[in-house]
């Protein structure tokens, strides 16, 4: 069974980030970025929210994760995620976090059965899918991919789930995807 990858927001106190660079790049496209892509990407901690604990990963405004998470993906055999240097700053304290990477998941797959998935339109042709259903014949062989019907969603294979769940990332949440 595949899983949708999330940051566990129930733990409380986790920081949120705001994008401060690369406004001209779609960070959810699922496409390869050009070889001359400039790094680092920069983000700032959202000081309007209370949380300051730095989590394993952020899902918005981009998939940004600590280096050990990316290393776990590589050890699991993932070969379609490109990593780019990232700096997250706390403008209140001056602290800079450089142990994060922007993870560009290469591959966006139209796999969701919207009629069987719990979803709601966001406007402009965008959907927010709360519970994903994928027909078995649309499920790709990839360990990880972005869902075309909701580009914020990252779906992982069951084998990748097993490896990540056993790697000790206690603030990463995996929501089961229904396969029919």
Q: pLDDT tens digit string along 129-141?
A: 899 999 999 999 9
Which range of residues forms the domain containing residue 138? 3-179
What is the pLDDT, as a whole number, of residue 106?
97
Q: Are strands 108-109 and 57-58 parallel, antiparallel or unpaired?
A: unpaired
Show the tokens assigned to 87.
């700096």
The model's pTM is: 0.94
CA torsion, points 173, 83, 63, 151, in degrees to nearest 10? Answer: -110
Of 38, 43, 41, the residue nearest 54 (C-alpha): 43
Tally of domains within the chain: 1
Angle at 98 between CA 44 and CA 10, to 5 degrees: 60
- How does pLDDT run across 73-107, given as a tens digit for each residue? 999 999 999 999 999 999 999 999 999 999 999 99
Query: Cα-Cα-Cα-Cα dihedral of 85, 99, 4, 24, to 10°?
Result: -30
**Residue corresponding to tokens 């409380």:** 12
In angstroms, the CA 72 to CA 67 distance is 9
The answer to whether residues 154 and 4 touch, using CB atoms and an 8 Å cutoff, is: yes
pLDDT the model gives residue 165: 95
């Amino acid at each position: 069974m595949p899983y949708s990858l999330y940051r566990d927001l129930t733990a409380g106190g986790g920081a949120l980030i705001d994008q401060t660079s690369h406004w001209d790049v779609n960070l959810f496209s699922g496409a390869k970025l050009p070889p001359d892509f400039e790094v680092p990407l920069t983000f700032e901690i959202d000081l309007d929210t209370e949380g300051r604990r730095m989590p394993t990963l952020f899902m918005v405004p981009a998939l940004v994760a600590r280096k050990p998470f990316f290393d776990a993906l590589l050890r699991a055999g993932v070969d379609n995620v490109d990593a780019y240097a990232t700096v997250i700053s706390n403008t209140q304290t001056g602290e800079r976090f450089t142990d994060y990477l922007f993870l560009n998941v290469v591959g966006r797959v139209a796999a969701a059965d919207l009629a069987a998935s719990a979803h709601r339109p966001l406007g402009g042709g965008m959907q927010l899918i709360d519970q994903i259903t994928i027909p078995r014949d649309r499920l790709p062989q990839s360990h990880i991919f972005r869902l075309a019907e909701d580009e914020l969603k990252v779906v992982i294979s069951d084998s990748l789930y097993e490896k990540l769940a056993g790697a000790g990332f206690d603030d990463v949440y995996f929501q089961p995807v229904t396969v029919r």
